[in-house]
Structure 1
Amino acid sequence: MKIPDSLTRYGLGKVFDYLDKDPMNNMSKVMDLVNKFAGDTLSKQREAFDNVINDKDSCWHQLIEKVWTQTDPDVLKTVFNNFFVNANLVGWPKQEKMREKYGCNIPWAILLDPTSACNLHCTGCWAAEYGNKLNLTFDDIDSIITQGKELGIYMYIYTGGEPLVRKKDLIALCEKHNDVAFLSFTNATLIDEEFCQDLLRVKNFIPAISLEGFEEANDSRRGQGVYEKVTNAMALLKSHHLPFGISTCYTSVNYKDITSEEFYDKII
């Protein structure tokens, strides 16, 4: 007898509550339970995660502990439910079923460009070739997400252009699809206090911030003053205990920066 998705989500929500009481000590016990429940779903990924959480001296173990203890608790729980539960443990088996039903690939995530518009003019960016007037409507994006969820897809990634040019629409989509995990590549220059408050409210949107090294290398590509805006945005997100990632484009100008210990120390 197949366990209904709603019951699966409820049970895993209770697992999160248990985990949150003592995360790093309980994580291996939770993974034992997940491994029994999940069967062959994402088995290689789960094995890699098991190795990380059981090696307390590894930098990855320390990173997971840092993320868990320094992220806003409500945001963390939503990320757990939408990304780990919906996009993986619930979504993956449904995707497998749909792959068999339709005889084609069903992606784990959908990547889309809300707009070609951008407030920067970065050297070498392909988006500039398309101008700044191409947009998906709110209804188009809503329809893509709605159809995707029917196929078991709960992970959506925005690129551009600069997606945060459309941040009001993106936040509205987070509200409507509160069971989905959203990640957006962004130059971060449009992240402000109001947007951080929106992220705390919707809880299911994570920025992946473009950073091309230290100030000289970064601004040589993205424009003077952008490095300062980006680092200020990172500090603002951190002060609100909001998760974010870093996206770096490897070039002949910045390779020394982005392969240095100093750069990784700064990101960490």
Structure 2
Amino acid sequence: MRETRTGATFSDRELLNRPKRSAEKPWKNLKRDWILHGMIKRILKNTDRKCLYKFVYNMGVKGSLSFARYQRRLKKGDFFPAFHFISVTDDCNLNCQGCWVTHKKKNARMSPETLNRIIEETKAKGSYFFGILGGEPLTYKPLLEVLQKHPDCYFQLFTNGTLLTPEVAGELRKLGNVTPLISFEGDEVVADVRRGGKDVFRRTVEAVENATNAGLITGVAMSVCKSNIDLALSADFVNSLIQKNVAYLWYYIYRPVGADSTVELALDKAEIQKLRQFMVDARSQFDIAIIDAYWDQNGNGLCPAATGLSHHINASGFVEPCPVIQFAAENVNDKPLENIYRESAFLKTLRNDIPHKTSGCIVMEDPNWLVDMAEQHKAADSSGRENEAARLRAMPLVPSHGSGVPVPEKGWIYRFAKKRAFFGLGAYG
């Protein structure tokens, strides 16, 4: 049984069958519309016009069309992801807990020719959105030069922010088609521990200000774990971002991966449920977009990699289901992407079988099964540490977003956006 704010109790089944939005009070709909109006007004006022146009057209219009193409391909049995996430380098100036990139035997850097070819091959399939990851992508010197070649695309730059100077923000404004997503992992004390650096909190705040002062569509991301969940669910934290003109706040669930997986930071089931409820409620309380990539419009857990929405290409060119599944049977340096997706038995098996195992994260809920599948398909360890199978077999099971009672979205705009996959853009965490 579960208790509501009024003190009434419901069974899980009754919770799932509660009336939808049509039964809500009219004033609640008006409040959500007012919040949406305030958010749009704030973004229009504070965003550079070129950046705004590129966001609306490249991301919005073309993103919708590319997703429709993806759906048509699936109906014809022609699989190719709706979008790609690309790690351009393993280099980073921090050393974060739960990072899948650190402590490799040798860091890799993708050649600009390979990066350009991946973008071109993806565009040929009618997809124009890309997530750019690292390591820290701003350590990758050819990055802006490559992005400049593709003004018809939209790029989300996953960055720790410590290198996002006013000068870099100005260059991104000139491009217009890049939204920096700046990782914000805790307060003055927690941030340094989580990120393995010094004075990280202040440097992150400065990065946010540099980006918004340049008129960029700016996002803040938080990998929610036990050490920062109180901050993550704080109204003061959300309001501080609004005051800095941040356009969107993206919540992830901490996933224990990499050489320093720090499993004890993983959320328990009650904390995951609390996070999910907070996000749904916050969408109608704050004039900032609240984004997640783990639940659909009905509140059911999903894995974007298992649905085929996105796949990840690491800095060595290995094609992985997502950044935290570090096994691969194909490399972009060996054959075109279209051939890889048409022929890869490993990727196809994971897409088909993971949904039967969990609606959450297979790495967290059944790592042994994942290793068995990798070995069955002779998939290589793409972690760069050469011990991923042993690490996963020794890792304790932890809850993921597949657990808990579904909490459906309340607002029509979020239901529509999630249904169209705009808010399920990745498998980064």
Place the TM-score, normalised by the shorter chain, in its bin.
0.7 to 0.9
Counterpart in the other structure of 1:184: 157
User: Which range moves more in the overlay, 103-112 or 76-85?
Assistant: 103-112
Equivalent residue letter for 1:263 = F
The alpha-carbon distance between structure 1 residues 130 and 64, as it changes in their structure 2 partners (threshold 3 A), is farther
Which structure would you say has the larger Rg?
Answer: 2
What is the CA distance between 1:130 and its match in structure 2? Answer: 2.6
Counterpart in the other structure of 1:206: 179
Equivalent residue letter for 1:75 = C
Residues 78-128 of structure 1, C-alpha deviations (whole Å, 9 max, x = no match): 111211122223x23333343345x24322210110011101112232210
- Is residue 186–residue 209 contact of structure 1 (8 Å, CA) maintained in 2? yes
Counterpart in the other structure of 1:171: 144
Is 1:92 paired with 2:67?
yes
Residues 58-92 of structure 1, C-alpha deviations (whole Å, 9 max, x = no match): 43332222112210011111111211122223x23
Which residue of 67, 75, 94 maps to 2:43? 67
Gapped regions of structure 2 (runs ≥ 5) = 1-28, 243-429
Correspondence list, 1:108-257, <5 A: 108-130=82-104, 133-166=107-140, 168-222=141-195, 223-257=197-231
Counterpart in the other structure of 1:16: none
- Is residue 181–residue 204 contact of structure 1 (8 Å, CA) maintained in 2? yes
Which residue of 80, 84, 88 maps to 1:106? 80
| Alpha-carbon distance between aligned partners in 2 of 1:131 and 1:244, rounded to the nearest angstrom | 34
Equivalent residue letter for 1:146 = E
| Alpha-carbon distance between aligned partners in 2 of 1:232 and 1:257, rounded to the nearest angstrom | 18
Gapped regions of structure 1 (runs ≥ 5) = 1-52
What is the CA distance between 1:190 and its match in structure 2? Answer: 0.7
Equivalent pairs counted in the alignment come to 214
Identity percentage of aligned residues: 29
TM-score by length of structure 1 reads: 0.74
- Is residue 213–residue 263 contact of structure 1 (8 Å, CA) maintained in 2? no
What is the CA distance between 1:245 and its match in structure 2? Answer: 0.5
Aligned Cα RMSD in Å?
2.1
Equivalent residue letter for 1:160 = G
Structure number with higher relative contact order (C-alpha < 8 Å, ≥ 6 residues apart):
2
Residues 123-182 of structure 1, C-alpha deviations (whole Å, 9 max, x = no match): 23221033562121111111111010111110000122111111x422112211110000
| Alpha-carbon distance between aligned partners in 2 of 1:60 and 1:213, rounded to the nearest angstrom | 27
| Alpha-carbon distance between aligned partners in 1 of 2:109 and 2:157, rounded to the nearest angstrom | 16
What is the CA distance between 1:246 and its match in structure 2? Answer: 0.9
Partner SS for 1:133 = coil
Residues 167-200 of structure 1, C-alpha deviations (whole Å, 9 max, x = no match): x422112211110000011100111122112111
Is 1:83 paired with 2:97?
no
TM-score by length of structure 2 reads: 0.47
Partner SS for 2:95 = coil
- Is residue 166–residue 214 contact of structure 2 (8 Å, CA) maintained in 1? no
Higher normalized helix content (fraction of residues): 1
Partner SS for 2:212 = helix
The alpha-carbon distance between structure 1 residues 93 and 112, as it changes in their structure 2 partners (threshold 3 A), is same
What is the CA distance between 1:244 and its match in structure 2? Answer: 1.1
- Is residue 180–residue 211 contact of structure 2 (8 Å, CA) maintained in 1? no
Which residue of 230, 237, 261 maps to 1:263? 237
